[in-house]
Amino acid sequence: MTEMVHVTPRRRLPVLTGILVLIALAILISLGTWQVERLHWKEGLLADIAARQVAAPVPLADIEAMAAAGGDIEYRKVTATGRYINNKERHFFATWRGQTGYYIYTPLELADGRILLVNRGFVPFDNKEPEMRMQGQLTDQQTVTGLAREKLPGKPSWVVPDNDVAKNIFYWKDLDVMASSVGLEKADVIPFFVDADSTPNPAGLPIGGVTQVDLPNDHLQYAFTWYGLAAVLIVVVAISWFRKGAKTPQQ
């Protein structure tokens, strides 16, 4: 009698497992592609900001019109003329070039009576109070050139401390409270800030030009991570497939 030899067919990945692998692979590739798109967007944004910072300054009225129309005014160069209301300055806790201190936000009263809050720059911790830097308390009409900064919609994060209005220490730039805490009417205050440029002030304080463009651009790294995980998944599945297929048929 002829002996029958039964050969076990090559084992294949179960259909459900294959579907799950394909779904996971699609997700990883999609995430990588999304990060590449974000990379191109971020590079364009950074280039745009760099161009704004070196452009010729425009009148304050132009920035106001842009803001009213819903345009992006952030980091646009602007010029404004008025008189500083020095006894209503607000202090924002900050670090500048490794030194702890404050940014001095001073209301600038314009010719029409409206108010523009100007970040005049940094003063060291010991120079917080105006009497410690009297030469920098400008009293005559001033023309300030700087960068427009949008009003924050709210507290940036729960980890940021609450502003200590009583001690005139702000940990986040709440324009409305900065203004109301010194008796300025909201209707009279222009709804954005201006960071003064590095034009020297008397006795060197405040130190202008403190605007920091802090836009992390890690999208390329994230893209490599997602694509790398997709590649690893492919390799793991391929190895598993060939190992199972290479098993010796059972007799």
pLDDT tens, position by position, 56-90: 999 999 999 999 999 999 999 999 999 999 999 99
- Other CB atoms within a 10 A radius of the CB of residue 137 amount to 18
Q: Which residues pair with 77 in a beta bridge?
A: 147
Alpha carbon distances (Å) from 203 to 1, 90, 125, 132:
112, 20, 16, 11
Q: pLDDT at residue 7 above 50?
A: no
pLDDT at 247 over 80: no
Confidence of residue 246 (pLDDT cuts 50, 70, 90): low
pLDDT tens, residue by residue, 41-61: 777 777 777 888 788 999 999
CA-CA distance, 178 to 36, in Å (whole number)?
40
CA distance 155 to 158: 7
Spell out the long-range contacts of 19-22 with Cβ–Cβ below 8 A and sequence spacing 24 or more. Answer: 21/233, 21/237
Report whether pLDDT(121) > 90. yes
Q: Tell me how far apart the alpha carbons of residues 93 and 165 are, in angstroms, rounded to a whole number.
A: 12
Lowest mean pLDDT among 96-100, 115-119, 212-216: 212-216
What is the per-residue burial (b if ≥16 Cβ within 10 Å, else e) of 149-163? bebeeeeeeeeeeeb
Q: What is the mean pLDDT of residues 168-188?
A: 97
The rounded mean pLDDT for the chain is 88
8 A C-beta contact, residue 121 and residue 206: yes
Kindly indicate the confidence band of residue 215, based on its pLDDT and cuts at 50, 70 and 90.
Answer: low
Per cent of the chain over pLDDT 70 is 90
Give 78's contacts (C-beta < 8 A, 6+ positions apart): 57, 58, 59, 60, 62, 63, 145, 146, 147, 148, 194
**Res. 1 pLDDT band, cuts 50 70 90:** very low
Residue count (the chain): 251
Mean pLDDT of 225-244: 84
What is the pLDDT confidence band of residue 190, given thresholds at 50, 70 and 90?
very high
pTM above 0.85, yes or no: no
210 against 224, higher pLDDT? 210
